[in-house]
Amino acid sequence: MATAHIAIDLGASGGRAMLAVLDGKPATVRLEEAHRFAHEPLDTPAGPVWDLTTLWREILIGIRAAAAMAAEAGVPVRSIGCDTWGVDWALVEPGGELVGLPHAYRDPDHARARDRLLARIDGGAEAVYQRTGIPPQPFNTLFQVEARHAASPGLFTVEGTSLLLLPDLLHFWLSGVRANERTNASTTSFLSAKTLDWDHGLMEAAKLPSASLGKLVKPGTKLGPLRPELAAALGLPDSVEVVAPGTHDTASAVAAVPAVDEAPGSWAYLSSGTWSLLGVELDRPKTTLDAFEAGFTNEQGVGGRTRFLRNIAGLWLVQELRRDLEQSGQSFDYAQLANAAALAEPLRTLVDPNAEDLAAPGDSIAKLQGHARRTGQPVPESPGQLARCCFDSLALCYADTIERIEQLTDHRIATLYLVGGGVNNQLLNQLTADATGRTLRLGPSEATALGNALVQAMGLGLVESVEDLRAIVARSQDVEIVSSNPSSADWAAAKQRFATLLIS
Ligand code: LRH
């Protein structure tokens, strides 16, 4: 019998409620959008914060819409689960009251907090990496907690307060149950890569209160039924279960990569959206010095796998460029910007997409031009030149990352699976295939919502394993292939130039 699962998928600039219907033998999945909304961090004197009441209202609108779609199709809703971007968190008092608003991770204060905290820890960043497998990115929860603690120590004083990552908070609001789901917990940089439990010692070394860390659960855990009063208000039976998916959006996306019948180690994934997350699955974290120096994170995945990947700035660069162009009176939509980039001279100006100044919001044009000047390259002036600089640099960064993976894992990557909204960017797809010299398999663009819904189904015993999940996704969609044409430009020379620009 067909079953329906509601996936709430929040990104840093927009969220959606999706209805997934699982049906048939062998099973396939159909995904429909019930509701979509935009949101953004709000500036306050204490720093940028997430507008939680708006998010909650939109989520409830989305659940209600998805419930109505399921009722119309005559399919029972069995579960709901939420995923969001990583690292951001909230404090909840024992009585359930929220302590302050959660801060948004792109806050310049976090880089200062990181430097301060690492200076207090013996062995600094490398020691933290060996313990957690997470490189010292300023937005990691560890550094955010340091920033909040330094600014407002009073936040942490109430006994029994829980630190919940954002999807954990939403699950608490939906079910009344507090738990920390492990995939997102691994983005905090205080989850031990060895025990996969909280690293209380690291929290103590960092002089941070760790009593607030709660019970860890794995993806697919049934947290409890939807609160009865909420179920009634949403038009759902109170038998609907709140099931934690891989609550880190990247974990959900990687779970839904349709890699079936691939030789182990022969494929990599690129989850492409605001961020580009490029990596492979490993059986366990790899916290060696060379992995640290190459900038790889070891995040936890669905089915106990490790997501060994690099966080690359991704389409954020183009989103920021578009915003800056708009502020200077030049309005482009993404398709127009990609068209202008396609007509611009290839490989003219390159930047390291992971340069820390580019990750902070604002002044995109001046920053890109500053990088060009400082490195003696032609300064991009037109929107097409600026966008081309972003796309070419991303493609080269992907190629560089695949080479690093091959060196670190001794595997040869033949195929790159591309999932997420970025799969719709044809120019970047072709540049990626050309720069990497790999075959690209595209889709699904909604991998995160699919992975979220199917891990819920796994928690209910309707999907057997990650392999089963991937086979369902593969069966449910057509895969588009992009072949590489490495002779399209002088990629070899560009790679050499690119290598000289890298900060790490
Ligand atoms: C992508 C993502 C990424 C990082 C970042 C903060 O949405 O989750 O994996 O953790 O957001």
Task: Supply the ipTM of this predicted assembly.
Answer: 0.98
- Stretch 250-258: mean pLDDT: 98
Output the CA 274–ligand 1 centroid distance in Å.
8
Pairing of the two strands 28-38 and 42-44? unpaired
- The protein residue whose alpha carbon is closest to atom 1 in ligand 1 is 85
CATH of domain 250-314+399-487: 3.30.420.40
CA distance 292 to 289: 5
Q: Kindly give the number of the ligand 1 atom that is closest to the alpha carbon of 88.
A: 6
Neighbours of 318 (CB within 10 A): 25
Terminal CA-CA length for the chain: 52
- The protein residue whose alpha carbon is closest to atom 6 in ligand 1 is 86
Hey, where are the domains in the chain? 3-245, 250-314+399-487, 316-396
User: Which pLDDT tens digit goes with each residue over 81-140?
Assistant: 999 999 999 999 999 999 999 999 999 899 999 999 999 999 999 999 999 999 999 999
Decide if 392 is catalytic: no
Please give the single-letter amino acid code of residue 27.
A
Output the CA 237–ligand 1 centroid distance in Å.
33
Output the CA 351–ligand 1 centroid distance in Å.
21
Give Dmax (Cα) for the chain. Answer: 64
Q: With cut-offs at 50, 70 and 90, classify the pLDDT of residue 490.
A: very high
Q: Given a cut of 90, is residue 206 above it in pLDDT?
A: no
CA distance 103 to 90: 8
Q: With cut-offs at 50, 70 and 90, classify the pLDDT of residue 504.
A: low
pLDDT value of position 71: 97
CA distance 158 to 141: 20
- Stretch 412-441: mean pLDDT: 97
Which of the pair, 356 or 470, is modelled with greater confidence?
Answer: 470
pLDDT value of position 158: 86
Residues in CB range of 164: below 8 A, 6 or more apart = 89, 90, 91, 92, 172, 178, 180, 214
H or E stretch covering 444: none
Q: Given a cut of 70, is residue 381 above it in pLDDT?
A: yes
Pocket perturbation via mutation, ligand 1, pick of 248, 254, 278 by most ligand atoms within 8 A of CB: 248
Q: Given a cut of 80, is residue 209 above it in pLDDT?
A: no
pLDDT value of position 36: 98
CA distance 117 to 246: 29
DSSP 277-335: EEEEEESS----HHHHHTT-EEEE-GGG-EEEEEEE-TTHHHHHHHHHHHHTT----HH
Tokens of 432: 């990626």
Among the listed residues 10, 1, 93, the one whose alpha carbon sits nearest the alpha carbon of residue 51: 10
Three-point CA angle 224, 230, 232, nearest 5°: 110
- The protein residue whose alpha carbon is closest to atom 10 in ligand 1 is 86
Alpha-carbon distance values, 419 to 190, 249, 271, 425, 496 (Å): 28, 12, 5, 11, 28
Q: Kindly give the number of the ligand 1 atom that is closest to the alpha carbon of 277.
A: 9
User: Which pLDDT tens digit goes with each residue over 263-317?
Assistant: 989 999 999 999 999 999 999 999 999 999 999 999 999 999 999 999 999 999 9
According to DSSP H, which parts of 93-237 are helical? Answer: 109-120, 124-132, 141-151, 166-175, 182-185, 200-205, 228-234
Q: What is the 3-state secondary structure (H, E, C) of 181-208?
A: EHHHHCCCCCECCCCCCECHHHHHHCCC
Q: Given a cut of 70, is residue 341 above it in pLDDT?
A: yes
What is the reported pTM? 0.97
Pairing of the two strands 439-442 and 415-419? parallel
Q: How high does pLDDT run on average in the chain? A: 96
- Stretch 477-490: mean pLDDT: 92
CA distance 164 to 180: 6
According to DSSP H, which parts of 6-85 are helical? Answer: 52-73
Q: Kindly give the number of the ligand 1 atom that is closest to the alpha carbon of 248.
A: 8
Residues in CB range of 264: below 8 A, 6 or more apart = none
CA distance 465 to 309: 22
- The protein residue whose alpha carbon is closest to atom 7 in ligand 1 is 85
Tokens of 239: 């038998």
Q: Given a cut of 90, is residue 53 above it in pLDDT?
A: yes
Domain pair 3-245 / 250-314+399-487, same fold: yes
Q: Kindly give the number of the ligand 1 atom that is closest to the alpha carbon of 105.
A: 6
Neighbours of 157 (CB within 10 A): 9
- Stretch 437-460: mean pLDDT: 97
The active-site residue, picked from 249, 324, 392, 400, is 249
Q: Are 275 and 297 in contact (CB under 8 A)?
A: no
Question: What is the Cα gyration radius of the chain?
Answer: 22
Number of residues that this document lists for the chain: 504
Q: Are 256 and 301 in contact (CB under 8 A)?
A: no
Output the CA 272–ligand 1 centroid distance in Å.
11
* Pocket lining for ligand 1, CB < 6 angstroms: 11, 85-87, 105, 139, 187, 248-250, 274-275, 277, 311
- Stretch 333-360: mean pLDDT: 96
Q: Given a cut of 80, is residue 503 above it in pLDDT?
A: no
CA distance 239 to 227: 10
Pocket perturbation via mutation, ligand 1, pick of 277, 316, 319, 452 by most ligand atoms within 8 A of CB: 277
Dihedral angle of Cα 192, 198, 201, 207, to the nearest 10 degrees: 120
- The protein residue whose alpha carbon is closest to atom 11 in ligand 1 is 85
Q: Kindly give the number of the ligand 1 atom that is closest to the alpha carbon of 187.
A: 10
Output the CA 292–ligand 1 centroid distance in Å.
19
Buried b (16+ CB within 10 A) or exposed e, 239-266: ebbbbbbbbbbbbbbbbbbbbeeeeebe
- The protein residue whose alpha carbon is closest to atom 8 in ligand 1 is 85
Three-point CA angle 306, 311, 315, nearest 5°: 135
Fold of 3-245: Nucleotidyltransferase; domain 5 (3.30.420)
The SS3 call for residue 373 is helix
Output the CA 313–ligand 1 centroid distance in Å.
10
Output the CA 459–ligand 1 centroid distance in Å.
24
pLDDT value of position 267: 98
